[in-house]
A and B are shown apart, each in its own frame.
Chain A
Amino acid sequence: MSVTVETPVEPDTVRPGVVRDTVTIFLREFQLVLRDPFSLIFSLLQPLVFLGLFAPLLAGSLSSDQVGGESPLTWFLPGVVVMIALFGTGSTGANLLYELMTGSYERVLATPVSRPAILVGRALKELAPLVVQAVLVTLAALPFGVTFSPVGVAVGLAILGVFGVGLGALSYALGLASRDREWLFWGVQQTLIFPLLILSGMMLPLESGPGWMQAAATVNPLTYVVEAERAAFTGALTDPAIRHGAIAAALTCAVGLVVGVRAVLRSAG
């Protein structure tokens, strides 16, 4: 059989590139929030609920010397913001589970969209409300006599955003691995997220904990991100904690994207 090699058909399309693809995926997900703003209202209430319920307890249970001489609230609130980011981006993969069952994930894969853009776009959607939430926390803290630095908060959010994209990509990979087994996603996610959270000193200081917990915290990237947020929110931008947090976030992001993109490529054969 003689094989004549056909010249490629001229496509009636342009490759938009990774940035535009990310924006498109982000907007597709964010549309759901815009079309149904109620979900946004609840997610905005979340930090206020934490503030209202924890703040009264903090004064009694945490003394300033336990948290490095600061007001307990100054110590606590950046942790709340990190926690919201953790839970938000950690559930990126959950929103995917449904799309895996219907055909809409496959439909997106059949388009020329850049694979990392699928991961980053979805993670950014989980992070977007965080900006408003952080502003809200900052404002709500004012009556309690706690003032955060706006520039510091912005730096903190940037670090958190990088971390969140990495975590979101990992969550996405987990979602793909749990295809047809939804329980697996939540089982693994919950099993990992709480140790990660507690061993980062996010909610309770680890200084009073046993040595093994402190040792575990030093290998938990989230510890560095939490420390960086605390330094950033108070405006201590030259604190080495910020640099360490940024490195931890960048590493998490890199690992997340590598694992995530591999999972996407594998899911497409």
Chain B
Amino acid sequence: MILTEDLRRTFRRRGAAVEAVRGISLRVERGELVAVLGPNGAGKSTLLRMLTTLLRPTAGTARVAGVDVVADPAGVRQRIGYVGQGNAGGHHHRVLDELVTQGALYGRTRAEARRRAGELMEALELRGLERRTVASLSGGQRRRMDVAIGLVHRPGLLFLDEPTTGMDPQARANLWEHITRLRHETDTTVVLTTHYLDEADAVAERIVVVDHGEVIADAGSAALRARHAEDRIELEVDEPGTVAGLVDGTVAGSRVELRLADGARVLPGLLARLERAGVTVHAAHLHEASLDDVFLALTGRSLREEGAAA
């Protein structure tokens, strides 16, 4: 569905060249749900804007839905849906009007556009808001409307640029429910950017980690964690010094700490072994590797801190 080779984009800022995307080669198959994860300024949006023809690549090639983004941008636009970072609807326009207009922009007749708008208003829980202006909607409603606008022409490939940024947790969960359901019903390929770790972890089957304009990891969440980060088990025991030797761990204060892969599967056996050895374990803590640990291992920086600083 997407095939890029050495895609690059350089911006000129006060005479200096800033490389926002530095050679990204990516392949996305039909039906995949891919999250592009990275800190602010990593190049996620620039990548997405090139794939959606809103920005011309400085170098490299990209075929989106089988069409070259530079040779036939209009052809790409016909085949994709795009939900940008901003709100799609004009502030003073009415919700239904904007959905119908969007249909007309894709060549639908007014009647078809109206029917499709009705379907989407139903599917995205926007019923009753037809005559409201975009400005009067809540943040969550506005974002659902943005998604509705992106889906008007039933694209086989949907791009979402930070769809949930700034939303409260409930509205975020609600939006994801809609997106995952629509995807299962229609087999749409979805590419989204996010800097929320938990979100990437929960919704995406594949995570492309981007930092400084480059892909630094690309795999499923579980595989990323297995490859780049370790789980941690901490045991509260009476004599940590002795126990550490038994289980190949290290002493951390009054606890014994083990770093290993697949901690959840190892833990029961470990406890049984210690029991057989006559060690009383007062408590066992399992810290599973998070995507943040993956990011930390890959870059030496924590994504959580970067997100907070931004």
> Which among A9, A24, A101, A102 is the interface contact of B1 at CB below 8 angstroms?
A9
CA A9 to CA B30, docked complex, whole Å: 10
Q: How many residues on the A side are at the interface (Cβ–Cβ under 8 A)?
A: 37
> Which among A14, A32, A110 is the interface contact of B54 at CB below 8 angstroms?
A110
> In the complex, which of the residues A3, A32, A103 has the most CB atoms of chain B within 10 Å of its own CB atom?
A103
Asked if residues A6 and B63 are in contact (CB atoms below 8 Å), the reply is: yes
Asked if residues B78 and A11 are in contact (CB atoms below 8 Å), the reply is: yes
Residues of A within 8 A of B97 (CB): 28, 31, 35
Interface set, chain A 158-204, CB cutoff 8 A to B: none
Q: Is B66's beta carbon under 8 Å from chain A? A: yes
Asked if residues A16 and B85 are in contact (CB atoms below 8 Å), the reply is: no
Residues of B within 8 A of A111 (CB): 77, 102, 105-106
> Which among B52, B87, B101, B108 is the interface contact of A102 at CB below 8 angstroms?
B87
Q: Is B154's beta carbon under 8 Å from chain A? A: yes
Asked if residues B53 and A103 are in contact (CB atoms below 8 Å), the reply is: no
Q: How many residues on the B side are at the interface (Cβ–Cβ under 8 A)?
A: 48
24 contacts between A and B (CB under 8 A): A5-B66, A6-B63, A6-B66, A8-B79, A11-B75, A13-B78, A27-B104, A28-B90, A31-B94, A31-B101, A98-B91, A101-B86, A102-B86, A102-B90, A102-B91, A103-B86, A103-B88, A104-B86, A104-B89, A104-B90, A107-B88, A109-B54, A111-B106, A112-B105
Asked if residues B53 and A13 are in contact (CB atoms below 8 Å), the reply is: no
Q: Is B203's beta carbon under 8 Å from chain A? A: no
Number of interchain pairs (Cβ within 8 Å): 128
Q: Is A113's beta carbon under 8 Å from chain B? A: yes
Residues of B within 8 A of A98 (CB): 91
Q: Is A61's beta carbon under 8 Å from chain B? A: no
Known: A16-B105, A98-B91, A103-B84. A8 touches B153 (CB 8 A): no
Closest partner residue, chain B, to A12 (CB atom): B154
Q: How far is the CB of B156 from chain A (nearest CB, A)?
A: 5
Which residues of B approach A to under 8 Å, CB–CB?
A: 1, 3, 5, 49-50, 52-56, 63, 65-67, 74-75, 77-80, 82, 84-94, 97-98, 101-102, 104-108, 146, 149, 153-157
Which residues of A approach B to under 8 Å, CB–CB?
A: 3, 5-9, 11-16, 20-21, 24, 27-28, 31-32, 35-36, 98-99, 101-104, 106-113, 268-269
CA A111 to CA B75, docked complex, whole Å: 10
CA A268 to CA B56, docked complex, whole Å: 8
Asked if residues A110 and B66 are in contact (CB atoms below 8 Å), the reply is: no
Asked if residues B55 and A268 are in contact (CB atoms below 8 Å), the reply is: yes
CA A24 to CA B154, docked complex, whole Å: 19
> In the complex, which of the residues A13, A27, A113, A268 has the most CB atoms of chain B within 10 Å of its own CB atom?
A13
CA A220 to CA B13, docked complex, whole Å: 37
CA A220 to CA B21, docked complex, whole Å: 46
CA A5 to CA B2, docked complex, whole Å: 10
Q: How far is the CB of A251 from chain B (nearest CB, A)?
A: 28
